[in-house]
Structure 1
Amino acid sequence: MDLNRKLAILADAAKYDASCASSGTDKRDSRGGRGMGSTEGMGICHSYAPDGRCISLLKILLTNFCQYDCLYCINRESSNVPRARFSVDEVVHLTLDFYARNCIEGLFLSSGIIRSPDYTMEQLVEVARLLREDHDFRGYIHLKTIPDADPVLLARAGRYADRLSINVELPTSAGLQALAPEKDAGAIRRSMARMAVHIGEAKGQAGDDAAAAARAVSLPVTGPRRGKAPRFAPAGQSTQMIVGADAATDAAILDTSANLYGAYRLRRVYYSAFSPIPDAASRLPPAAPPLMREHRLYQADWLMRFYGFEHHEIVPATQQGMLALDVDPKLAWALAHRERFPVDLNTAPQELLLRVPGLGVRAVQQLMAARRQRRLRAEDLKRLRVPTARVMPFVQLDGHRPARALEAPDLRARLTQRAEPAQASLF
């Protein structure tokens, strides 16, 4: 098959995987005339996926042939879709060529399962090895790993890749058993645990038990590394959950995410709204969930990771386990807990400031730095360019008292109404 035709098929087949961010790795580049590639993205153009997502990685599958028959997957064994397969050398060539054309900053590589999990994983690792060792590639590499593969192969992958990921696929073991019975939730968790051990050891974070587990899946020696590739997946590991393919509520999804973050030191959990596929099984929903649901889950995820929220307090009990679609989860929490407000911006601790709608992490840090020098006033919020209309009902500071604003019955409506979009003039 023509290489361009393969690229069209396997790039399109990869669009359903959302977990391809390139943040968090070591800084490496080829300045000084050594090697090629960069993880910093300087001077590298971003490309756009067909659904509008901005990406800067060559995002492809090694193959969309697969021996598994997961009901939600467009590439399942029984799916009637065009099939293609890259050779290892073709993926290496494409990565270097797209980088030389200034189109990408690295590679995101996943695959269907062919022959066996070990064979597939060997092919993925070999792509990364050739890029690092034979071509001195210093750009970003994200490998989607195969949980059933030999632990030694997973360990080798971490020596070449910046980030590794294993998809948990669905939020609950029951959902995975119903829609992907060939996949083993226990095996997925065990592989994630092994990667967490290796990553922790590389960063000096593993304890005695983790060190023992690491020795049980010891890293093989692969010879000298000219490309100065990462120590062991320095950008950590991530995973992805499909939203809306089963009956799992948002509360159940966030509970799973909180468990994954706590147990395996994940850098990110990605959420991908289920997309209906041709010839779908009757057990799948006939329509996709609202994309706003995916967006609200990402917002809730940030509340857990950066704002000090516990997963169980984000979804109100009155919502039957679902996040509201018409209001972001932070504002929804504030409206449901009006007794906690107004917050005095001049005296409140950081953890309380982070719960004020409209105040982000950076704005809170700037406010805390500024109030060490002087008392804060409303003008300070305007200088920080925070959305004052959203913030002011929930705070008090010199020259501003919200009076009875929090008791207004139309407060929710006023804070969630959106202005009609207007076409900008060319001039």
Structure 2
Amino acid sequence: MNEKIIAKLEILAESAKYDISCASSGSSRSNRNKGIGNARHCGICHTFTADGRCVSLLKVMLTNYCMFDCAYCINRQSNDIPRAGFTTKELADLTIEFYRRNYIEGLFISSGIVRSPDHTMERMIRVVKILRNEHGFNGYIHMKAIPGASNELINQAGLLVDRMSVNLEIPIEQNLKLLAPDKDHQSIYQPMRQIHQNLLENIEDRKKIRSTPKFVPAGQSTQVIIGATDESDKQILQLTAKLYKRPSMKRVYYSGFIPVNSYDKRLPVVKEVPRVRENRLYQADWLLRFYAFDVDEIVNDKYPNLDLAVDPKLSWAIRNPQFFPVDINRDSYQKILRVPGIGVKSAKLIVMARRHRKLTLDALKCIGVVLKRAQFFIICHEMKKFKLLDSSAEYIRLSLQEPSLLEDKSTNVPTQLVMGW
């Protein structure tokens, strides 16, 4: 691998790192002529399969030149940053070389928009065609669909790759137009709808002719930037719920705003990425997808934003004491699933285990229930007293909120001690 390609890789992998559809490994360990191999941080990231396996991907842009000038993007046209671009053959050959060295198992490819969305999309498709047709590469490929690209190109790409994604970036169109004047929601939703429609048609076609190639078998995903504009968590989660109504939408990613262009006055002044809020949104997303919660139960007009001190499930439980206690030995799976400290797997095991005997606290602990949380909201065979009656909502919040949030920043003393608890 020559130095020119390595230089391009370092620039284009750095430019791609702000797309969080998969997490960076963050490893950089060089060979000092006393061992075998090198671990380079640039370009290698991890994603996970449906069965939990970790897959390493080459995460890179085809080019970081871009005709758009989005305020929040490091690759915006007006930024004075190092620019580079692979030829389609260079990127395909680089992917194969990394794969043969067992660095990666797949490719995550995105690009700045050059000339037009169709021109950029055509070049990305050409990379994938070289991999699939010339090299016979059957590994995982995730491609970013370019907003504004034609339906024909979306169709071509979907038959070649495993997953496609179109980033929404800013949830409300008015705010998107403020920070990204060249974009609009129509150009973003159009490829999303096309991917969804083609996937449904492909499923029907495969029922008739099993040899029909699969269209984006891993579905599609999107990303929302959190904290760059003034959307509430309620607005973000309402949008998320609408997106998940499409069977093709597998994941919505939440990216805390990173001030890479602090000189732009349209952007908020922040000292650090809002990681806690980002994490709470992922937890709320989990409740929508796997715990049968509605958006209005998690956030509403009275509580438009998530509680940063405790997770959304615990926050809901504290605000709704009338739902409890939940009798572990009698109540339905749906009710048990809403108890803080009980997950999907634990709830299923509880329903199975109680067929054979009455469940005690020790049995719940063996099943995997987090009793520190659940004890306030349940009763079981040996626990007739309902603890929530003797505990204030504020006491539960303070006793169960995360340790990092318990510290008084001015004294570094736990809040419980400051308050005399």
Q: 2:277 aligned with 1:275, yes or no?
A: no
Task: Name structure 1 gaps, 5 residues minimum.
Answer: 22-44, 207-227, 422-427
- Spell out, residue by residue over 1:44-77, the C-alpha distance to the aligned partner (whole angstroms, 9 max, x if none): x998679998772110011110001111111011
Q: 2:70 aligned with 1:70, yes or no?
A: yes
Deviation of the 1:279 alpha carbon: 5.1
- Tell me the residue number matched to 1:149: 149
- Cα distance change, pair 114–193 in 1 and its aligned pair in 2 (3 A): same
2:255 match: secondary structure: strand
Residue 303 (structure 1) aligned to one of 274, 287, 301: 287
Aligned residues: 376
1:142 match: secondary structure: strand
Paired residue type of 1:335: I
Q: 2:255 aligned with 1:253, yes or no?
A: no
Task: Name structure 2 gaps, 5 residues minimum.
Answer: 24-37, 48-54, 408-421
- Tell me the residue number matched to 1:13: 15
- Cα distance change, pair 291–279 in 1 and its aligned pair in 2 (3 A): closer
- Cα distance change, pair 392–404 in 1 and its aligned pair in 2 (3 A): closer
1:285 match: secondary structure: coil
Give RMSD over aligned pairs.
2.6
Deviation of the 1:356 alpha carbon: 0.7
1:271 match: secondary structure: strand
- Spell out, residue by residue over 1:225-277, the C-alpha distance to the aligned partner (whole angstroms, 9 max, x if none): xxx99611010011001111111111111111111111463100001011101
Q: Note the 1:75-154 alignment, pairs <5 A.
A: 75-154=75-154
Paired with 1:373 and 1:170, the residues of 2 have a C-alpha distance of 51
Paired with 1:279 and 1:268, the residues of 2 have a C-alpha distance of 29
Q: 2:418 aligned with 1:418, yes or no?
A: no
2:142 match: secondary structure: strand
Paired with 2:103 and 2:389, the residues of 1 have a C-alpha distance of 50
Q: Judge conservation of contact 1:47–1:56 (CA < 8 Å) in 2.
A: no
Paired residue type of 1:7: L
TM-score between the two structures when normalised by the length of structure 2: 0.84
Q: 2:194 aligned with 1:194, yes or no?
A: yes
Q: Judge conservation of contact 1:394–1:402 (CA < 8 Å) in 2.
A: no
Q: Note the 1:364-379 alignment, pairs <5 A.
A: 364-379=347-362
Paired with 2:357 and 2:63, the residues of 1 have a C-alpha distance of 61
Paired with 2:348 and 2:127, the residues of 1 have a C-alpha distance of 43
TM-score between the two structures when normalised by the length of structure 1: 0.82
Q: 2:274 aligned with 1:290, yes or no?
A: yes
Q: Judge conservation of contact 2:71–2:261 (CA < 8 Å) in 1.
A: no
- Spell out, residue by residue over 1:360-401, the C-alpha distance to the aligned partner (whole angstroms, 9 max, x if none): 111111111212222222122111232111112111111113
Paired residue type of 2:330: T
1:270 match: secondary structure: strand
Q: Judge conservation of contact 2:164–2:216 (CA < 8 Å) in 1.
A: yes
1:56 match: secondary structure: strand
Paired residue type of 1:305: R
1:204 match: secondary structure: helix
Paired residue type of 1:297: L
Q: Note the 1:17-32 alignment, pairs <5 A.
A: 17-20=19-22
Paired with 2:44 and 2:398, the residues of 1 have a C-alpha distance of 31
- Cα distance change, pair 329–141 in 1 and its aligned pair in 2 (3 A): same
Paired residue type of 1:311: V
Q: Judge conservation of contact 1:138–1:229 (CA < 8 Å) in 2.
A: no
- Considering Cα pairs closer than 8 Å and 6+ residues apart, tell me whether 1 or 2 has the greater RCO: 1
